[in-house]
Amino acid sequence: MPAHPCRDAWCPKPPEARDRVLTDRELAALWHSASEEGYPFGNFVQLLILTGQRRGEMLGATLGEFAISARVWTIPGDRAKNGKANIVPLSPQALEVVEGVIASARPGSDDPSHMHRLVFASESSAQNPVSGITRAWNRMRKRRQNHGVRS
């Protein structure tokens, strides 16, 4: 071939950075909607709010990553976007949600592999994260809108 066939192909421009943040009112409405949703999706959203971590990092969290006594969540480097371990301090409110989530997620104490279990595991497999997040998000959005808060 005399030239690469894609040489003059159109390249899409990169997406623009988003800078929209929720207002205090929107955040409060989302928090209440997540509280109504409960485990796993409501707690998932609450921890996203309280920790500011990425959705994928939260979905991949295992029980062993949480050090309750030290009040930290350590995201290992192989799961972090930058490849470095990320130590996330847990506020008292975040710690309360984490303790409740871990209690909901923890299998029997006789299971030696429970520390490798996903915190937000699917009902069918402890190795797969929950599915249906989009449907749960839409339910929470609808509840927020019913309370007069736009998204």
**91-133 residue pLDDT tens:** 999 999 999 888 876 555 455 566 788 889 888 777 788 888 8
Q: What is the pLDDT of residue 111?
A: 57
Per-residue pLDDT averaged across 137-144, rounded?
84
* Domain carrying residue 132: 31-106+114-146
Q: Looking at the domain assignment, is residue 56 inside a domain?
A: yes
- Give yes or no for residue 12 having a pLDDT over 60: yes
Task: Identify whether 78 is part of a domain.
Answer: yes
Share of the chain above pLDDT 70, in %: 89
Q: Does residue 121 lie within any of the structural domains? A: yes
Q: Taking all residues of the chain, what is their mean pLDDT, rounded to a whole number?
A: 85
Domain for residue 20, yes or no?
no
pLDDT value at 144 more than 80: no
Q: How wide is the angle at C-alpha 51 spanned by C-alphas 45 and 54, nearest 5°? A: 70
At 57 the pLDDT is 93
Does any domain span residue 10? no
Is 89 part of any domain?
yes
Counted domains in the chain: 1
Cis ω before 40 (30° cut-off from 0): yes
Domain with residue 135: its CATH number is 1.10.443.10
* Residue 119 maps to a domain: yes
Average pLDDT over residues 66-75: 95
